Amino acid sequence: MENCNMHGEKMSLINELAQGRELARQLQIHLNVPSSSHGTRESLVQKIIVSYEKALSMLNSSSPASGGEQQLPTGHAAIRMIESPPPSLNGSPHSEDSDREFKDQDNKESSRKRKTLPRWTQQIRVTSGIGLEGPLDDGFSWRKYGQKDILGAKYPRGYYRCTYRNAQCCLATKQVQRSDEDPTVFEITYRGRHTCTQASTSTTSAHPPPPPPPPQNSMDIVDPQQNQQQPQDLLLAIPQGLTVVTEGLDAGDQELFPYNPLNHNYVGNFSPPFMGPATSGTQYFSASEQGFGGGSQGFQGVECEISEILSSSTSATNSPAALGFPFGQADQNLYPNFSFDGPGFFSS
């Protein structure tokens, strides 16, 4: 857990700074777009300020004379995270998330706090009835820790976290919810990034640690083979030949971070959501087995190094594009979290 803590501090700070940079870039983009509203620009400026203030306060509180705890490395155990700024400040969800998360760890007692980690959502449509036998494996081991009825939703939402959460301090979690409108569509929201090694190793040597999937992309996996199966079954049966449709995700986030340069760096050609008009974004990727397995090593390497940062920083912003995910190229890594694991989710 120490790792987590130290990680947390560092990450928080990095996240804030990264976010600030990101916001500045966004602002830059907006400045070049005549159509961009004043309000939007102003909002960005505000966010930038808030972001930097947070970063500064982190530095002040952790590095000071106190001597010791550097927010950075090494660890010590729990250094208390700085309190997150008042929510009112708009804080970017994103940074708050990370902070919170780590804070939770520090004060484990407060683990029940609602987290808002970086997250990205994928919508998956399962139309086929493929092998029900095996749940689609995204390369990670997930453990269901809860299920809840969501207001306004017909179906309950399932909560999963990495099996290695404790063992490796992997904070990745995901939520799976079936669409009310279209039962064949499942919305999977991932949070945090996998930091565990076992997961990737165990499942597939080929699956490297996953970078957070492209945030804001929603995907539909459609099995060519049609099918009338029950959604639940479908879930379990997500096929190997998949067609993934990505669409813009969180509207809110998108607005703010329609485009995330960071991602670009890693993913060369993922098309950012903002490229298209609002709806534009739907993209179809072919995700066959191979697809997932592929591998962009280069990307992966980089990814590994920054993944953490990205996960938190981008996620918060959710700039999904960011990690772009090269689905097409198929990199499991890139798209690791793609699974429902689960028998548990709908089964009961």
Partner DNA sequence: TGAATTTGACCAAA
Partner DNA sequence: TTTGGTCAAATTCA
The binding site for DNA (CB under 7 A) comprises: 87, 100, 110-116, 141-152, 157-159, 161, 163, 173, 175, 191, 341-345, 347-348
Beta strands in 155-301 (DSSP E): 157-162, 173-178, 185-191, 217-218, 242-248, 283-287
User: Which residue's CB is nearer to DNA, number 92 or number 229?
Assistant: 92
Contacts of 212 by beta carbon, 8 Å cutoff, 6+ apart: 118, 120, 190, 192, 193, 307, 310, 311, 314, 315, 323, 337
- Kindly state the smallest distance separating residue 177's Cβ from DNA, in Å: 8
Nearer to DNA, 81 or 330 (CB): 81
**Cβ distance 12 to 58 under 8 Å?**
yes
Dihedral of CA 281/321/218/130: which sign? positive
- Compute the least distance from the CB of residue 329 to DNA, in Å: 30
Residue 111 or 225 having the CB closest to DNA: 111
- In the complex with DNA, the residue whose CB is nearer, 258 or 342, is 342
| Cα torsion angle, 86, 90, 93, 95, sign | negative
Q: Among residues 68 and 146, whose Cβ is nearest to DNA?
A: 146
Nearer to DNA, 93 or 272 (CB): 93
Q: In 10 A of CB 214, how many CB atoms? A: 31
Q: Are 325 and 127 in contact (CB under 8 A)?
A: no
Q: Which residues of 241-271 are buried (b: 16+ CB within 10 A; e: fewer)?
A: bbbbbbbbbbeebbebbbbbbbbbebbeebb
Nearest distance, CB of residue 240 and DNA, angstroms: 21
State the minimum distance, in angstroms, from the CB of residue 106 to DNA: 13
- Token pair for residue 304? 């590994």
Straight-line distance from the first to the last Cα atom of the chain, in angstroms, rounded to the nearest whole number: 33
What minimum distance in Å lies between the beta carbon of 179 and DNA? 15
Residue 148 Cβ vs DNA, minimum distance, rounded to whole Å: 5
